[in-house]
């Protein structure tokens, strides 16, 4: 009796609720409750995976990305192991990308690769991820909570490229992806040239026989050169830049960047000489004659043709005379 009364009350409540609700309330096992607009309730749902993904495809072709996402998501949720689930996941990713929700699209593509690795269009998907990462590298703003824009985040972009390389370590885009990691470090807020140099070195080692490997070696020298300009008295970084450019010139003597590499080496040697010259002056000012002599001589060794070398020779002679008199 009580069950009958409870069932009757439930039926009356549902009838009243449906009449007053702004849209029909639909429940699907495994998906829960959802609202549908009048005239569309259940119109996009199907009982077979094949039919459901077809709804998603037709909606995508019409650029109805909202319906595409609903139909594709239902396919993946209801039939995750069917032959149509990969296509549905792909349509979800394409829909996010079409709506300029690139972070969501990248994750959706990654889920597709992770869950369905034996894809016929595997290379296309990795390529799409690569293009998304490139847009962020170029300065595209990110979105939080779907619509809130945030400035570019190079750390997140680097993680994207690392994932792309992991997805396809021997793909045709892997060398460029590794190069772009270095570029992202350079464009980061902190201008991390040290990490950029390491990223370029990795590209130069991995892809030594490819064009990207040659470019990467040159980029290593450039990164060290930029870092040396920021570290005024760090002679080791300048030495690394000189060594890298020297290796580049030795391995690729016919490259059209050789003259520029030599010019940079000459500039770095002059900078090294200036650093040694400043240290020598410090020692001389404090009457530490032996230390001054050591660093003035380093000026002659590092850049004997510079103006610093001419002054260093004069100071060496003056210090020696002073020491001999004492």
Q: What pLDDT shows up at residue 229? A: 82
Give the span between the Cα atoms of 219 and 208, in whole angstroms.
Answer: 13
Residue 234 contacts residue 272 (beta carbons within 8 Å): no
DSSP 208-260: TTSHHHHHHHHHHHHHHHHHHHHSTT-HHHHHHHHHHHHHHHHH-TT-TTHHH
What is the widest separation between alpha-carbon atoms in the chain?
A: 123
Give the pLDDT confidence of 203-250 residue by residue, as tens digits.
999 999 899 999 999 999 999 999 988 755 567 898 999 999 999 999
Q: What pLDDT shows up at residue 7? A: 52
Residue 174 contacts residue 165 (beta carbons within 8 Å): yes
The pair of three-digit structure tokens given for residue 253, joined into one six-digit string: 């003597």
The per-residue pLDDT of the chain, averaged, comes to 88
Helix, strand, coil percent values for the chain (each to nearest 5): 70, 5, 25
Residue 26 contacts residue 40 (beta carbons within 8 Å): no
% of the chain at pLDDT higher than 70: 85
Give the pLDDT confidence of 84-94 residue by residue, as tens digits.
999 999 999 99
Hey, which residues does 34 pair with through a beta bridge? 26
Give the pLDDT confidence of 158-171 residue by residue, as tens digits.
999 999 999 998 89
- Domain boundaries along the sequence of the chain: 1-43, 277-326
Whole-model pTM over 0.75: yes
Residue 312 contacts residue 278 (beta carbons within 8 Å): no
């Amino acid at each position: 009796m009580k069950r009958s009364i409870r069932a009757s009350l439930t039926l009356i409540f549902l009838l009243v609720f449906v009449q007053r609700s702004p849209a029909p309330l639909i429940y699907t096992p495994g998906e829960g409750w959802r609202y549908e607009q009048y005239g569309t309730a259940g119109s996009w749902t199907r009982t077979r995976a094949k039919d459901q993904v077809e709804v998603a495809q037709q909606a995508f072709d019409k650029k109805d990305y909202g319906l595409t996402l609903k139909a594709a998501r239902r396919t993946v949720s209801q039939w995750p192991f069917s032959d149509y689930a990969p296509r549905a996941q792909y349509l979800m990713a394409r829909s996010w990308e079409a709506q300029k929700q690139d972070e969501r699209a990248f994750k959706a593509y990654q889920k597709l690769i992770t869950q369905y690795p034996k894809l016929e269009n595997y290379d296309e998907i990795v390529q799409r991820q690569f293009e998304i990462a490139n847009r962020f590298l170029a300065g595209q703003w990110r979105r939080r909570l779907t619509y809130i824009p945030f400035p570019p985040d190079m750390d997140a972009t680097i993680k994207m490229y690392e994932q792309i390389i992991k997805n396809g370590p021997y793909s045709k885009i892997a060398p460029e992806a590794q190069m772009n990691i270095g570029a992202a470090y350079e464009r980061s807020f902190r201008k991390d040239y040290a990490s950029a140099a390491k990223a370029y070195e990795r590209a130069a080692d991995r892809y030594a026989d490819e064009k990207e490997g040659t470019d990467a070696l040159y980029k290593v020298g450039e990164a060290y050169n930029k870092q040396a300009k920021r570290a005024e008295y760090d002679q080791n970084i300048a030495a690394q830049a000189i060594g890298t450019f020297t290796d580049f010139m030795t391995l690729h003597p016919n490259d059209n960047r050789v003259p520029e590499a030599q010019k940079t080496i000459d500039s770095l040697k002059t900078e090294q000489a200036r650093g040694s010259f400043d240290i020598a002056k410090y020692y001389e000012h404090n009457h530490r004659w032996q230390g001054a002599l050591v660093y003035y001589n380093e000026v002659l060794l590092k850049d004997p043709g510079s103006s610093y070398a001419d002054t260093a020779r004069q100071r060496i002679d003056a210090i020696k005379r002073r020491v001999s008199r004492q």
